[in-house]
Structure 1
């Protein structure tokens, strides 16, 4: 433990404060409200009940799903645009430069690299038409968007540091002065992105999006969409929590861009009436690997309330139950505690790993459906989240995994319960022994 703490904690702190990872994490938060609202409409269009589509078709016609999916196209299908704006804004904040102009320039650079033509199948022919393909505005454009955000902000901050900016005289309104001060950085940023696009146009990839997709994004996506990758991510995340460091925020900054890409691919397929293909994604991580928070501590809470006898554990379980239902488990991690508790650290690692393996193979074997890519708030309670992301079968699987987790946690928490019962007994005995009677002696006259 001393060696782990010596090397792992400083590394975790360094990663957690990395301005690039922080910017990615905070930038994606900008997209969250839009994605959640768009996902509600995706759920309506593809509600996991047999006969749902036929029921509404008889009232609104066969194209009713196209109407309902319009908000999906305006949110989920444009996710890369929102992401590049949010990441650039967050990174400009970290670099202490103009946030709004940097975000706007990064978005402009994103579209400069964008191909303005794409191929369409017309019968048996492939026709090249003018326009922007939504393929690069959603999942397939995220990594290019991240690159655009970092490059645009770096260029802007460099020029600002050098002082190569137009300074307006005093008395000019601040908004006008800021616009002119951004003129030279904007020209340089746009010119550099234009040169990058020209260079890629003479390569076999023809544009930066194809290059990033083939060389970086697809290999990373395939690596992230694996059982080993998500188990490893949870191992490090839980280990950091053991030392009192928010491992989820650190690992999410690294892993979430890949998971979000995989989720968006599923959502796009579902919106087209096709079946999702990516087992590992954001919804899998949030709702089928853990229940009640990292470590899947909802199972632990149930074991504490129904199977433990010490007042300390039962009271803590009751107090923590409501937050735990909504996947908030800091009261358990710091109150039981799990942090720096080698005994509880064992099931804290085992239960999520068990959930991941069982859920993965249940989906891989077709026993339950793959999650549909709908963005559901991570605080959504168990059963409800399973039903919304897949259907009744997945909700039942969630219940079974929570029950299995109870049996894994039970022997470990019972050991703590026995220890706490003994401590409570000793405290009561000591209190009774230390009681001093202030009543005077009975005197017989």
Structure 2
């Protein structure tokens, strides 16, 4: 390895690795990430119903209407309302559950306390809870409530400030009384906060938090520069073995999920889609084959390798990379700590991001409007993400081709290097 390569590797290992490890393991960020991921299957199911209820093919819509009547779209929205429209309500439970479990205290009790507290601070309409705040608009408050309520619960339990019942009382009853004091303190605290905000600020905690937290994050995460920054952070930390995308999502995922939901609402209403950059956009139109857009490299390894080792890596790495699982290549090739791959690994997602962003900005490709699984294979994922537009599938094909071209000269370099080493080994053996 050259002296320059050694210096780069030393810098990444000594400077970036400790930072990434510390951030990636931060308890509260992990709880937010795990809590949001827990509810993702429900949101994906809701996305399928969004696509079916607003499919951009009149013949299909007429056929379904003929079978199920004119109310079929409204009936499908029942599932959408039970998933997308209560996103924050669900996450209030799962995030607190995750954080409490990390402290080895009852996740269920902490989750229920958080859920109740979230309802407490949510504005009421004439018919009950205002549904507008139970979905993506309430995510920031759900995160705040979940973290605070779980921390209060943990504090009282670990300090043993709880009501203890005799040993002959059933365990389920005893556990419920353990939650009594922290529940009373938490609910009283947020009740006072709600009264103060409504009396002094003449607003509610949802609108206040969005003004001070949501709007700045929206400004950062909704533009081209925000996407470039997210890609650079992801790529640099992955190069030292830290899951950089998890670091980015721990901050930006609530905002990007909200953007997906706002796009979904506009799509169903037939209005202009407001956001190009969102959670689905990054997963489907940037990370094709996982971080680094490694599907292009996997195809080269599979079809063009002369080295036996590289050819084996292609056979091992291509199938999972199609589903955006690129760890076999990240640690087997390896990509991690490999200066020879650093340049295309960073450049490829930046180029693909720019291509995708510009294509949608000029109206050549439909924006992403629903949530699809991050592991959805290319072409299918692009078609579904855009609400059933073929332009999304075509864009993914172009991205794969572009990333393959970017990786090609670097692939040839590492393949020839591996081939020389193999031939040298064989000569020695002979």
Answer whether contact 1:109 1:190 (CA < 8 A) is retained: yes
Answer whether contact 1:301 1:320 (CA < 8 A) is retained: yes
SS of residue matched to 2:324: coil
* Residue-by-residue CA offset, 1:275-307 (whole Å, 9 max, x unaligned): 431111111111100211111111111222333
2:360 to 356, 359, 363: 363
Alignment of 1:66-105 (within 5 A): 66-105=74-113
Is 1:248 the counterpart of 2:245 in the alignment? yes
Report the alpha carbon displacement of residue 273 of structure 1 after superposing the two structures with TM: 4.1
More displaced, 357-366 or 157-166? 157-166
SS of residue matched to 2:367: coil
Q: Distance in 1 between matches of 2:178 and 2:331?
A: 50
More displaced, 272-281 or 318-327? 272-281
Equivalent residues, number: 420
CA RMSD of aligned residues (A): 1.6
Q: Distance in 1 between matches of 2:63 and 2:272?
A: 21
Report the alpha carbon displacement of residue 205 of structure 1 after superposing the two structures with TM: 4.3
Is 1:15 the counterpart of 2:26 in the alignment? no
Partner residue in 1 for 2:399? 401
Q: Distance in 1 between matches of 2:332 and 2:56?
A: 39
Partner residue in 2 for 1:171? 168
* Residue-by-residue CA offset, 1:252-280 (whole Å, 9 max, x unaligned): 22222221121122223334443431111
Report the alpha carbon displacement of residue 179 of structure 1 after superposing the two structures with TM: 1.7
Is 1:152 the counterpart of 2:155 in the alignment? no
Report the alpha carbon displacement of residue 50 of structure 1 after superposing the two structures with TM: 4.7
Partner residue in 1 for 2:372? 376
Structure 2: which 5+ runs fail to align?
A: 1-7
SS of residue matched to 2:129: coil
Partner residue in 2 for 1:438? none
Partner residue in 1 for 2:124? 116
1:340 to 337, 344, 349: 337
Partner residue in 2 for 1:123? none
Partner residue in 2 for 1:126? none
1:57 to 52, 59, 65: 65
Answer whether contact 1:242 1:341 (CA < 8 A) is retained: yes
Answer whether contact 2:217 2:252 (CA < 8 A) is retained: no
Partner residue in 2 for 1:436? none
Q: Distance in 1 between matches of 2:236 and 2:315?
A: 26
Q: Distance in 2 between matches of 1:242 and 1:162?
A: 41
Is 1:143 the counterpart of 2:151 in the alignment? no
Report the alpha carbon displacement of residue 425 of structure 1 after superposing the two structures with TM: 2.1
Partner residue in 2 for 1:38? 46
Q: Distance in 2 between matches of 1:92 and 1:269?
A: 37
Report the alpha carbon displacement of residue 90 of structure 1 after superposing the two structures with TM: 0.7
Q: Distance in 1 between matches of 2:279 and 2:378?
A: 15
Answer whether contact 1:88 1:106 (CA < 8 A) is retained: yes
- The 4+ residue runs of structure 1 with deviation greater than 6 A are none
Report the alpha carbon displacement of residue 368 of structure 1 after superposing the two structures with TM: 0.8
Answer whether contact 2:16 2:240 (CA < 8 A) is retained: no
More displaced, 258-267 or 141-150? 258-267
Is 1:131 the counterpart of 2:139 in the alignment? no
Is 1:199 the counterpart of 2:207 in the alignment? no
What is the TM-score when the length of structure 1 is the normalising length? 0.90
* Residue-by-residue CA offset, 1:135-182 (whole Å, 9 max, x unaligned): 101111000001111111222222234433221112111111122222
Is 1:28 the counterpart of 2:36 in the alignment? yes
Q: Distance in 2 between matches of 1:311 and 1:170?
A: 66
More displaced, 15-24 or 298-307? 298-307
Q: Distance in 1 between matches of 2:291 and 2:225?
A: 18
* Residue-by-residue CA offset, 1:36-74 (whole Å, 9 max, x unaligned): 221221121123435332332233333221011110110
Q: Distance in 1 between matches of 2:32 and 2:21?
A: 17
Q: Distance in 1 between matches of 2:199 and 2:118?
A: 19
SS of residue matched to 1:343: helix
Answer whether contact 1:109 1:148 (CA < 8 A) is retained: yes
Partner residue in 2 for 1:410? 408
SS of residue matched to 2:211: helix
Q: Distance in 2 between matches of 1:386 and 1:317?
A: 24
* Residue-by-residue CA offset, 1:96-141 (whole Å, 9 max, x unaligned): 3221111111111111111112xxxxxxxxxxx4432221011110
Answer whether contact 2:96 2:150 (CA < 8 A) is retained: yes
Answer whether contact 2:24 2:242 (CA < 8 A) is retained: no
Report the alpha carbon displacement of residue 340 of structure 1 after superposing the two structures with TM: 1.6
Alpha-carbon spacing, 1:53–1:274, altered in 2? closer, same or farther (3 Å): farther
Partner residue in 1 for 2:390? 392
Q: Distance in 1 between matches of 2:130 and 2:311?
A: 56
